[in-house]
Amino acid sequence: MDKLLANSSVRESKYPQWVANVVIVKKKNGKWRMCVDFTDLNMACPKDSFPLPHIDQLIDAMTWHELLSFMDAYSGYNQILMEEEDEEKATFITHKGTYCYRVMPFRLKNAGATYQRLVTKMFKDHLGKIMEVYVDDMLVKSKSKEHHIDHLKEALDILRQYSMKLNPERCAFGVTSGRIAALSRFISRSSHRCHKFFNVLKKDNRFLWNSKCIEALRELKAYLSSPLLHAKAEPGKCL
């Protein structure tokens, strides 16, 4: 709460018409996030029908690219300002009093659609070419390593133009691995085929590459090299 006040994300609210309760949610990294239960407010809001990209199409768009960089916006939703007249609608109650958001908070009904509209506008000239974006997750892709730095520069210049900040802990640049995870939805019983060597890659486990891992990887390679049942369509070629 002190952090939100210090960076002017919230302000004190007096006589609000809408008041919501605070909910504390544990994040994947073990840290805690303060959320607000906007259930009642969301029920009164019309739905923003701006479409989110289809995950399958985004994964298909990554194929044939030699180098990838993944970027995540820092507290993404909070980088969008609320309309002043709507701030007090996002009021929540604490032991110190009532406060409202000056920035777009997490769990608002149309937060995802609002953010997607923004990034689609920001990167409109690059989507489908050197970039893909899903809400606050951004991907820069290059078919050759030689062009990747230039593509990254174009993306970062746009982020700088809009004063959008990144979360360095959740960014990964120059990635070439992870293809098995992307293909998993096309692999029959993928979790069974991969779990032996995926388990040793987990952060909490000791890395021990044994004969079972070697055999599981060999079998997976043999399966992937068998006649294709699913392939990415190539323009100009028969299906």
2-176: which CATH topology? Alpha-Beta Plaits (3.30.70)
- Indicate whether 124 pLDDT > 80: yes
Query: What does the pLDDT read at residue 108?
Result: 95
Q: What is the pLDDT of residues 103-112, one digit of tens each?
A: 999 899 999 9
Are 219 and 193 in contact by the 8 Å Cβ rule? The answer is: yes
Q: Which of 57-71, 115-129, 181-195, 213-227 has the lowest mean pLDDT?
A: 181-195
**Residue spans per domain, the chain:** 2-176, 180-224
- Indicate whether 182 pLDDT > 80: no
Query: What does the pLDDT read at residue 179?
Result: 59
Which of the two residues, 104 and 209, has the higher pLDDT score?
Answer: 104
Query: What does the pLDDT read at residue 178?
Result: 60
Q: Which of 30-34, 46-50, 115-119, 229-233 has the lowest mean pLDDT?
A: 229-233
- Indicate whether 15 pLDDT > 60: yes
Report the percent of the chain where pLDDT is more than 70. Answer: 83
pTM score, two decimals?
0.74
Average pLDDT of the segment spanning 184-213: 68
Query: What does the pLDDT read at residue 53?
Result: 92
